[in-house]
Structure 1
Amino acid sequence: MSDAVPSFSLRSGSKIPSVGLGLWKIDQDATAGVVRDAIKVGYRHLDAACDYGNEKQAGEGIASAIGDGLASRDDLWVTSKLWNTYHRPEHVRAACERSLRDLQLEHLDLYLMHFPISQAFVPFEKRYPPGWFFDPDAGEPGIKEDPVPIRETWQAMNELVDAGLVREIGVCNFGTSLLRDLMASSDTHPAVLQIELHPYLTQNKLIRFCNESQIHVTGFSPLGALSYFSLGMAEPAESVIEQPVVKEIAANHDRTPAQILLRWGVQRGTSVVPKTSRVERLRENLAIADIALTDDEMNAISTLDRHRRFNDPGDFAEAAFNTFYPIYE
């Protein structure tokens, strides 16, 4: 794997690049070009998921970049995620193989359980990606649960490693209690935990627990509210990049506020996966390795913490999917 972007070492010795491209909310029509552009400017970490609905287009971008010699497969770290409807062990491999086929890959570097939520299975031929509704055409559509013990899903994910389809497995949106229970039920501990992480939600205790447990942390939505404005899940006044302290630190380093926030995340020891469709932003988000924030600057940014979670099923599931579904409480 290329050393152009600094990486973090996992327990196994694998290296995950510190900055990746998050593919959530990138339009299908743009995804192939954005992925190719990202690889061209130096990205080696791509964060995909079945639920994002653009893995096929991401695969086209990856294939184009590799075909044109912009990178080799071994240069890339590609993550995908198991969706909630595929938690039954008999569906896990088929879900992974569908992602692999769409991404035009023989293996994934990392496969994550997207949520600690188990929904009723929706066949691939009926709807893919299946989304949150069990039946969108029902009179009162909602989320339909099909409870599956996490350890059963995890064991099936382990079998993907044994089969050579996946190199590392991990989880998203777990807290310390679920992590402890998962580690107590399996000899294979999560390599990575992906969580919402930004100065309004610093999650210090969870990160410390993961560090002590040799679980690497990746932060999604590292710029905070920006991805949630269009969804009605955040107000413009909640924008972290508009905070005076962030702007002041950015001016001191002659960098943008976004670069400072990404560097804050990486300097904490977490990888970050910001989303953008613009080439100039792709370059900007990647160019943070030479920023060195002082302890005072790191602390000043961290004091913005207000425990504000933007991506919370306990809020959005009821508003968007007619189902009250808290997982963090």
Structure 2
Amino acid sequence: MNGPNGPAPLLTLNNGVRMPALGLGVYQSPPDETVAAVTTAIENGYRLIDTAAAYGNEKEVGEGIARSGIGRQDIFVITKLWLTDYGYDAALRAFDTSLTKLGLDHLDLYLLHWPVPSAFDTTVASYRAAEKLLADGRVRAIGVCNHTPEHLSHLMARTDVVPAVNQVELHPHFNQPELRAFDVRHDIVTQSWSPIGGVTRYWGDRPSEAEDPLRNPALTGLADKYGKTPAQIILRWHIEHGLCAIPKSVTPHRIAENIGVFDFSLTPHEVSAIDALDTGVRGGPDPGDVGPDTFS
């Protein structure tokens, strides 16, 4: 049974698999709060859960899914390969570990967490491992995170399967129009991490109010107009662009609010006004600078 907000619409990936356009992210969700966050999300209509080996909560995500009572075929589960497991054989072993922690027999989408420009051969080898997992039916779709058009071009030139998804930092203050256009040209769905700009609040020094999209007057004004929160306005903007957004929360009322964006729409003019808030400034790491030791 769907929650009060109902399920998100579905996006069709380049191999025909269908993925919800909005899901729950669990980055920085403490393991002891993740089970409840996942079950709350599913109760409220979420059917996509995004985790990663590096988040340390795959086991709890699996427990939350199991407790929900929703059939496995109705939940779209994503996890990611971490940098320390890059390489063909290492990637296959890491996938088995993630699947065991999740308590699942297959995955809906498996992603490479970052490109490693200084050791791109290992990125390619890892993606080839993902291609094998796809061919063997252990995953339904494969893709990448944080790849620029240049990274994607290099990867696609050396592999066989065009990534189904590219998950990147994307919010009104950093909305990546060139990357989105590249993804569209290659039939890659762009998935937005930190979709409401959370990275501007939790990464690095405390930002000024001007850097927080939730406090931007253009967005608070639209929130007043539609009787929604600024976060809901931003998530609706992602939907209007055909993106997949994965907002993170462990707070029940926010989890419910975040999926309550399918009962209104923004006008093209309003979407353009939000587009114009782009600063071109990342909140998170630059993918071009990421290496094996970046996060150690």
Q: Please indicate, yes or no, whether the TM-score normalized by the shorter chain is above 0.5.
A: yes
Counterpart in 2 of 1:142? none
Counterpart in 2 of 1:208? 181
Counterpart in 2 of 1:38? 41
1:64 aligns with 2:79: no
Q: Could you tell me how far 1:41 is from its partner in structure 2?
A: 1.3
Query: Helix, strand or coil: the match of 1:166?
Result: coil
- With structure 1 as the length reference, what TM-score do the two structures score? 0.83
1:283 aligns with 2:282: no
Counterpart in 1 of 2:81? 82
Q: Aligned partners of 1:96, 1:185: CA distance in 2, in Å?
A: 21
Stretches of structure 1 that go unaligned for 5 or more consecutive residues are 119-144
- Asked if structure 2 preserves the Cα contact closer than 8 Å seen for 1:200 and 1:307, the reply is yes
Counterpart in 2 of 1:263? 236
Q: Aligned partners of 1:281, 1:316: CA distance in 2, in Å?
A: 33
Query: Helix, strand or coil: the match of 1:171?
Result: strand
Counterpart in 1 of 2:104? 105
1:7 aligns with 2:49: no
Q: Aligned partners of 2:157, 2:131: CA distance in 1, in Å?
A: 15
Counterpart in 2 of 1:50? 53
Counterpart in 1 of 2:132? 159
Q: Aligned partners of 2:295, 2:32: CA distance in 1, in Å?
A: 33
Deviation beyond 6 Å, 4+ runs, structure 1: 314-318
Q: Could you tell me how far 1:210 is from its partner in structure 2?
A: 0.7
Q: Aligned partners of 2:56, 2:185: CA distance in 1, in Å?
A: 35
Work out the percentage of aligned pairs sharing the same amino acid: 37
- Asked if structure 2 preserves the Cα contact closer than 8 Å seen for 1:210 and 1:216, the reply is yes
Residues 234 and 310 (structure 1 numbering): CA distance in 2 closer, same or farther, change over 3 Å?
A: farther
Counterpart in 1 of 2:20? 17
Stretches of structure 2 that go unaligned for 5 or more consecutive residues are none
More displaced 10-residue stretch of structure 1: 161-170 or 106-115? 161-170
- With structure 2 as the length reference, what TM-score do the two structures score? 0.92
- Asked if structure 2 preserves the Cα contact closer than 8 Å seen for 1:229 and 1:236, the reply is no
Counterpart in 2 of 1:229? 201
1:312 aligns with 2:285: yes
Q: Aligned partners of 1:175, 1:35: CA distance in 2, in Å?
A: 30
**Greater RCO (Cα-Cα under 8 Å, separation 6 or more):** 2
Amino acid aligned to 2:103 = Q
Query: Would you say how many aligned residue pairs link Structure 1 and Structure 2?
Result: 292
**Residues 79-106 of structure 1: CA distance to partner in whole angstroms, max 9, x if unpaired?**
0000001111111111011111111111
Residues 51 and 233 (structure 1 numbering): CA distance in 2 closer, same or farther, change over 3 Å?
A: farther
Q: Aligned partners of 1:215, 1:314: CA distance in 2, in Å?
A: 18
| Match 2:171 to one of 182, 192, 198 | 198
Counterpart in 2 of 1:130? none
Residues 147 and 18 (structure 1 numbering): CA distance in 2 closer, same or farther, change over 3 Å?
A: closer
Q: Aligned partners of 2:148, 2:205: CA distance in 1, in Å?
A: 22
Residues 322 and 181 (structure 1 numbering): CA distance in 2 closer, same or farther, change over 3 Å?
A: closer
Q: Aligned partners of 2:289, 2:205: CA distance in 1, in Å?
A: 8
**Residues 178-211 of structure 1: CA distance to partner in whole angstroms, max 9, x if unpaired?**
1112222222110000000001111111101111
